[in-house]
Each structure stands twice: as structure tokens, then as C-alpha cells.
């Protein structure tokens, strides 16, 4: 409760009052730290958790990997990766997705691709994470090739994937591919989602296609400041 309200000090006081914290207690305080911009402290607390002999679970690792990504702390991220592999914790696809995000955020794109290639099981988040990794590191052509890979395997991109791909099209300066992505979005029925509609609107604006941008804007059932700024 305190963590959600931004009262990290109070959350920490409650945690220190627990005689024998369990993994649920640790995860709660780590969540409080990560939600309130204290990612580095969350990373440090995992070390303390280990020193006390408490065993992290999947949620713990997901939390600290996200913190490492936010802090761009690849050194600690690699250490946590080793811990995941050494533990008997189920190496769930969600952990692999988090590792892809962490490594790409810290500039280790090759390591992120190794994790992706080694995934025996992939979900749409796995694909989206790798596409986002390429876009984040300005390898837009590789991001578009990942879409081809999804198509070959019959994987359907989510609206998050489409937002990332629209950025890739703009980064490559490939207007026609942007139009193709927009067409796919319409076929998937995603366009009414506000963030995705804004991404389409922004993509057309970056290519100077005011007419199509206006069409998208006029069809939007919901608009926010981003929508208006993109149209202006």
C-alpha cells in the first residue's frame, strides 16, 4: 500500500518490522523501490536478501532485471542472469523476455539475440522484446526482418509490436512499409487503441503525409495531448 502511494520510507519501516520476511515480503519492498525511482536500491536489496539466505523467486528476478534495464546496469544484470541459471527456478519464458530487455537496454544486443535464439518457447512478448531491442539500438532493418520471421511461423504481432515496427519504418525512412504496417493494424482490428493510433498518426506526420494523418485523426474515437500535438 505505502509503495503504491509513493511512501517508500513507510514501506521500508513496515518491512524492517517483519521478524522473518518471506519472498512475498521481499518482492513487495522491491516493487516499492522500483515504482518510485529507487531501482538501484532494489538491486542492492536483492544482494541483502541472498546474504540472509532467502531465496528469490521468478517475480524477484523479473523485478530486479527490470531495475537493471532502467539503470542500464549490465554488470549486475549479468550477475542476476547467472543466479537464474544456477537456481532451480523454472527458466520461464517471462524471464527470458526480461533478459532480452535488460541486455538490449544495457547495450548488449548480441547477448539479447543469443537469449532469443536459445528460447525453446517464444510468445508474442519474446518477439516484441527482440524487435524493440533492435529499434532501441537503431537496427531498424533487423527489426523488420523479425516481422518476417513472425509471419513465417504464424505468430501474430500485438499492438505493442506494431507500435515498435512503426518506429522502425520511420527510422528506415520506408514510407511504403509504414503503410503496410498500418494496413496490417487495420486487418487486426487494433487501430482504435489510443497509443497505437497515435503511433500511426505520428508515423504519417514524420513522412509528411498530412492527408492520411488527418484521416487517422478524424477516425480516432479517443484523443489525448499526444494526438493533438502529432496533428499540429
Specify the CATH number for the domain of residue 107: 1.25.40.10
Residue 69 confidence (pLDDT): 95
**Averaging pLDDT over each range in 45-59, 107-121, 165-179, which range is the top one?**
107-121
Domain boundary among 91, 121, 151: 121
Residue 88 confidence (pLDDT): 58
**CA dist., res. 94 & res. 203, Å (int):** 30
In a domain, 126, yes or no: no
Assess whether 73 and 40 both reside in one domain: yes
Contact 192, 204 (CB under 8 A): no
In a domain, 148, yes or no: yes
In a domain, 179, yes or no: yes
Assess whether 116 and 19 both reside in one domain: yes
Assess whether 64 and 147 both reside in one domain: no
Assess whether 10 and 114 both reside in one domain: yes
In a domain, 188, yes or no: yes
In a domain, 132, yes or no: no
Q: What average pLDDT does this structure show over 153-166?
A: 88
Within 8 A by CB and 6+ apart from 78, the residues are none
Q: Which helix (H) or strand (E) holds 176?
A: helix 175-188
**CA dist., res. 94 & res. 122, Å (int):** 9
Assess whether 19 and 116 both reside in one domain: yes
Compute the mean pLDDT over every residue in the chain, rounded to the nearest whole number: 86
Candidates 153, 57, 150, 164; CA nearest to 101 is 164
Is residue 151 very low, low, confident or very high in pLDDT (cuts 50, 70, 90)? confident
Q: Is the pLDDT of residue 8 over 70?
A: no
Q: Which domain holds residue 71?
A: 1-121
Within 8 A by CB and 6+ apart from 222, the residues are 192, 194
Match 496533428 to its residue by C-alpha cell.
231
Q: What average pLDDT does this structure show over 184-200?
A: 82
Tell me how many domains the chain contains: 2
Assess whether 87 and 194 both reside in one domain: no
In a domain, 100, yes or no: yes
Is residue 103 very low, low, confident or very high in pLDDT (cuts 50, 70, 90)? very high
Match 543466479 to its residue by C-alpha cell.
83
The burial class, CB within 10 Å (0-12 / 13-18 / 19+), for 11 is buried
Amino acid at each position: 500500500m505505502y509503495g503504491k502511494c509513493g511512501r517508500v520510507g513507510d514501506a521500508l519501516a513496515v518491512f524492517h518490522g517483519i521478524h522473518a520476511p518471506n519472498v512475498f515480503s521481499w518482492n513487495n519492498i522491491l516493487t516499492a523501490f522500483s515504482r518510485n525511482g529507487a531501482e538501484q536500491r532494489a538491486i542492492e536489496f536483492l544482494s541483502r536478501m541472498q546474504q540472509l539466505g532467502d531465496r528469490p523467486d521468478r517475480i524477484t528476478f523479473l523485478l530486479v532485471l527490470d531495475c537493471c534495464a532502467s539503470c542500464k546496469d549490465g554488470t549486475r544484470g549479468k550477475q542476476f542472469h547467472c543466479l537464474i541459471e544456477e537456481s532451480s527456478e523454472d527458466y520461464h519464458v517471462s524471464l527470458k523476455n526480461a533478459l532480452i530487455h535488460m541486455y538490449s537496454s544495457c547495450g548488449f544486443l548480441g547477448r539479447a539475440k543469443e537469449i532469443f535464439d536459445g528460447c525453446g518457447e517464444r510468445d508474442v512478448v519474446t518477439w516484441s522484446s527482440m524487435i524493440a531491442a533492435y529499434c532501441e539500438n537503431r537496427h531498424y532493418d533487423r527489426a523488420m526482418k523479425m516481422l518476417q520471421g513472425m509471419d513465417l511461423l504464424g505468430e501474430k504481432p500485438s499492438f505493442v509490436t506494431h507500435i515498435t515496427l512503426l518506429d522502425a519504418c520511420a527510422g528506415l525512412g520506408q514510407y511504403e512499409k509504414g503503410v503496410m504496417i498500418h494496413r496490417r493494424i487495420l486487418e487486426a482490428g487494433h487501430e482504435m487503441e489510443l497509443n497505437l493510433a497515435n503511433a500511426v498518426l505520428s508515423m504519417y506526420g514524420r513522412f509528411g503525409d498530412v492527408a492520411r494523418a488527418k484521416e487517422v485523426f478524424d477516425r480516432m474515437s479517443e484523443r489525448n495531448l499526444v494526438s493533438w500535438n502529432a496533428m499540429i
